[in-house]
Amino acid sequence: MPVSLLALAAGAFGIGTTEFIIMGLLTQVSQDLGISIPMAGTLISGYAFGVAIGAPVLTLATRHWPRKWLLLGLMLIFIAGNIAAALAPTYGWLMLARMLTSLTHGTFFGVGAVVATGLVAKDKQASAIALMFSGLTLATLLGVPAGTWIGQHFGWRMAFAAVAVIGVVALGILAAFVPRKLEQAAPAALRDELSILSSMPLWLGLGMTVFGFGGVFALYTYVEPLLSQITQMGNTGVAVSLLLFGAGSAVGNIAGGKLADRGVVRALWITLGALVVVLLAGRWAFGISGAVAMAYVTVLGVVAFATVAPMQMRVMQGVGSQGATLASSLNIAAFNLGNALGAWVGGSLIAGAGLLSIIWGAAALSAIGLVLVAMGQRRSPAAALQTA
């Protein structure tokens, strides 16, 4: 794997850290800005919707740009957004800063995935995507806990300032190691590029991502109360469990890439099927013991992130090379819509039927993803055979 893939992973690490860091800072932000914790929580939803809107719009607006310069420009916006967040005097300012930062997310991962596949042989493309996304999994393992620790000891503003510093470092690594000249087909006319939006395989692939990954966040968003209230874990046990989830996600991300290199459709069946089974197992795992719950959260991290590379490859393969960048960015938006959908479904179930009810909702969402895999295979069996 070329070293330039590690440069892409460095950018992904910074962006992943800023996406999830707010989860560990909600109390500090709410107290400092004089808002409720639920209102502070909208900073997570605002970011997700910013990604969903910004990914296709910014990708289309910059489709003529050389990809290296586009990646560097996105990192500059990322740095500016985190500096603005660190200086935010009000909730409104902080929301705008978060949404500015979110605009870089979808396009960076979407363009980065296309760049990554162009740097390696065809039979290594899914692994290349997984390596780039390893920056995101490392963000959950290292970046978010570190940012939470900084926020607890030095204030939430210093946590965002630290993320801006990560952005500066990532900018330097991208500038040094991403090739100046990358293989890049001449951009199609806007009308032709938008024509992929009429592709049913594209929408089925995006649906797989929204619902399949939505199941992960229906449970993971509320894993802390599950561990503390159902498993009766203390703060240390919860912290260790979250670290184990991050470690599992790093392993699953790479494993999913290698599995998808051998067949994307088969990888989707295996990873989404395993995800549904593991989500259902949570109904019993959280109530047995702390050790079992920790093992369960680790396995959940593995199977959850094993789905990422197959989902990304499926969407990119469903359109021609002319539409791969837009399709890739749309799928990043789909991941974030899945995050928002999962969190909403989980919260609604908790309010109506109690904490453990989210297990069934999470499994049902991911099962819908499996149904969409079957629909895609039935609709285009020849394409399915080529990718299986």
Domains of the chain, by residue range, sit at 1-180, 190-388
| Residue of 325, 373, 53 whose CA lies nearest to 212 | 373
| Residue of 344, 339, 336 whose CA lies nearest to 50 | 336
Separation of alpha carbons 103 and 92, rounded Å? 17
- The conformation of residue 88, written as its DSSP 8-state character, comes to -
Q: Does an H or E element contain 96, and which?
A: helix 91-118
Separation of alpha carbons 275 and 283, rounded Å? 14
DSSP-based three-state secondary structure for 183: coil
Determine contact, residues 70/325, Cβ cutoff 8 Å: no
Determine contact, residues 143/170, Cβ cutoff 8 Å: no
Q: What would the pLDDT profile of 216-265 be if each residue is shown by its tens digit?
A: 988 887 887 888 888 888 877 877 888 888 889 889 988 988 888 888 88
pLDDT band at 202 (very low <50, low <70, confident <90, very high): confident
Predicted local distance difference test score (pLDDT) of residue 361? 92
Separation of CA 234 from chain center: 28
Predicted local distance difference test score (pLDDT) of residue 365? 95
Predicted local distance difference test score (pLDDT) of residue 38? 66
* Mean pLDDT of the region 334-357: 83
Q: What would the pLDDT profile of 53-73 be if each residue is shown by its tens digit?
A: 888 888 888 877 888 888 999
Q: What would the pLDDT profile of 150-199 be if each residue is shown by its tens digit?
A: 887 898 999 999 999 999 999 998 888 888 766 555 555 666 667 777 77
pTM: 0.77
Which of the listed CATH numbers 1.10.510.10, 3.40.140.10, 1.20.1250.20, 3.40.1110.10 matches domain 190-388? 1.20.1250.20
Average pLDDT of the chain to the nearest whole number: 84
Integer-rounded Cα Rg, in Å, for the chain is: 20
Separation of alpha carbons 367 and 208, rounded Å? 9
Separation of alpha carbons 283 and 300, rounded Å? 13
Burial class (CB in 10 A: 0-12, 13-18, 19+), 97: buried
- The conformation of residue 287, written as its DSSP 8-state character, comes to T
CATH topology of domain 1-180: Growth Hormone; Chain: A; (1.20.1250)
Tabulate helix, strand, coil % of the chain (nearest 5): 85, 0, 15
Q: Give backbone dihedrals phi and psi of 228, rounded to 5 degrees, phi first.
A: -80, -35
Two domains, one topology: 1-180 and 190-388: yes
| Residue of 124, 84, 132 whose CA lies nearest to 108 | 132
Determine contact, residues 302/251, Cβ cutoff 8 Å: yes
Structure tokens at 56: 């296709």
Vertex 29 angle, CA 37 and 243, to 5°: 85
pLDDT band at 6 (very low <50, low <70, confident <90, very high): confident
pLDDT at 277 over 90: yes
Vertex 115 angle, CA 59 and 44, to 5°: 50
Structure tokens at 200: 């049913």
